[in-house]
Amino acid sequence: MGRERTNRARKFFNYDSVSNKSTCQIEDCQHVVSGDHGGNLERHLQRRHKEVYGKLLAEKATKRVVLGRDEDSPAAKLRQVDITSMLQPTSSKCVWLEITEDSIMKSCVELVTRNGRPFRLVDDSGFRQIIDPVLKALGARRAITAATVKDRVQEEAKSKREEISSSLRGRMFSLKIDCASRLDRALLGINVQYAENGRLVLQPLAMKELFDRHTGEHLRLQVKSTLSRYDLSISQVYSVTTDNGANMLKAVRLLGEADDESDDCSSDEEADSGEHAFGTYGLISLLDNPEVTHLPGLDDADLMLGVRCAAHTLQLAVTDALKESGSCTIVAECRALVKKLRVQSAMGLIRKLGLKKPVIDCPTRWMSTLNMLVRLTELKSFVEDFLSEEERSRWIECMWAEVEMLTVALEPAQVATKKLQREQLTIGDFYDAWLTCVLSTSKILSPLAKALVKFMKKRERDLCDTNIFCGALYMEPRYRLLLTTEQKCQARLHLSKTWKRITGLQPKQDIKYIQASVAAAPAEPQDALEALLKEKEAEAGAHPEAGGLGPVDIACLLEMLDKEARLPRTTNVLAFWEERKERQPELYSLAKVALGVPATQVSVERAFSALKFILSDQRSCLSLSTLDDVLFLRSCSVP
């Protein structure tokens, strides 16, 4: 006798024992289920007739209670758990969020600028499903679409430009410019840098698209139009840092000439006493004509000076050294070997052994060449096992030793390059890294190291034989003693004329404040160093008069500055001058201008790295103004 069938699902089916099939009788469903197993019949009810299935479950529960088979009984614990009891409820959940319509719009702007997402993202269906319910709940008065986000980008870019214009009004600053191209579109990047509150402040000015040839004259016009956009004049520009390209150097020279034509306020006496005595360095020497040291009729106080990028100059020195030392031959052989190691058969073995992948270099980037050589030496054992007997005979031990010597000779230059890529880099920091590299490389006995020292010293003149460099190093208490007597005289003359330009840009009330602060300075308590400076001042017979500052007064302050002791190399020179802001306001103002000069234009290159995200293949048709605004805001937002 079989077990009694008690499953109530069977009452909804008609079972045919001949065909062994059960037919559903609910609302003429007529669905046929094989056999009459209760579980199969229940599953059909669960899928097709949920209301009936719910009633069936309720009847089962009632039966358990009547029979005393509650959930806590031992028998209930042994029964199979119904899967529906394990499902989590899917009812909607309400949450409170602190969010506004404006914050959503700002987030969308950040998506298309800093994050580099396309504008069409805002109109994508998935994104609309996220923000539309939120906007509806907020009662948004303005739609957030790709078009409105583009308008907001334009508004924020305009507001940020006005903020930068206001911060630069009435002050001297330095520029750095560079060019780049992507997808057949050429861009000119212009950044501004100045010292404020003990730090170097870096701001973008423009990412202008260029349509003509990149001649010096065309670049000059683009820089002038950018300054006009911010209501700034060329007379406020203290220096311009560029790479060593002839068109860039010529553009700086033309800007300096335009500055002299627009602000012809030089005196013949000053020009004779300054330029004939010490020579005018900077623009002329930067144009590969170091023989010319005097430009008749121009006062270098009104002449904007160019600064070559130290990182790019070091790159050129290393390239020259590789060529002269004959190291290009071994580098070419290493490059060919690396290409052979990067084929699929070799890469499979390298991955199987858990070794690092060989890297191929970019011939125009020597640091990538160094990385290639270092990785190749790490794979030396694998290479010797992988190469054939004939190829192995070419790579004898002396060749490996030569590769290792190349890496050793280039290591100090690599360390210096990384130092030159820092954002908070003053002229003194650059000179420290440069001299350290020269001294470290000179201790290495190899043809490449000898050639590198030679070319670094040769190109050092392009970097250091300028008024800009001498003036900055004179305001550097850490490295001032490295200047010669002639360079110190040159620096003091240049800084005195720079002070005249600074006071010419300041409103009259600010100049009166500076004069009053100088007159009140003797009443301040004196420390030992201040007493020494006063003693030297008395010996020199230079005492500030109550009538205000003149050229002699600032010259005396600069003379006294030269008598101060050297500071440790680890001293933060910007913080040092910030502490002297109240006691020495004139020198503080000079230090802010002189130490705010960018030694490299690395920041512009970093801004150009965003091009592959902003100007992608799918966004190559961005308009000129939109591309400028997006790149500008991204440069402002990236820390």
Buried/exposed code over 577-611 (b: 16+ C-beta within 10 A; e: otherwise):
bbeeeeebbbbbbbbbbbbbbbbbbbbbbbbbebb
**Residue of 355, 425, 430, 417 lying closest to 386 (CA atoms):** 355
pLDDT at 30: 84
Angstrom distance (rounded) from CA 496 to CA 63: 104
pLDDT at 78: 52
**Residue of 232, 156, 141, 148 lying closest to 190 (CA atoms):** 232
Task: Go through the domains of the chain in sequence order and give each one's CATH number.
Answer: 8-86 (no CATH), 155-266+301-308+609-637 (3.30.420), 311-462 (no CATH), 476-595 (no CATH)
pLDDT at 577: 94
pLDDT at 185: 86
Task: Answer positive or negative: Cα dihedral of 519, 501, 492, 248.
Answer: positive
Structure-token pair, residue 71: 């959930």
All residue ranges of the chain with pLDDT < 50 are 1, 65, 67, 263-303, 509-530, 532-533, 536-537, 540-552
pLDDT at 622: 81
pLDDT at 440: 93
List, as own/partner pairs, every contact residues 579-584 make where C-beta atoms lie below 8 angstroms and the sequence separation is at least 24, other chains included.
Answer: 582/517, 583/521, 583/524, 584/557
pLDDT at 258: 61
pLDDT at 92: 63
Angstrom distance (rounded) from CA 507 to CA 375: 59
pLDDT at 374: 92
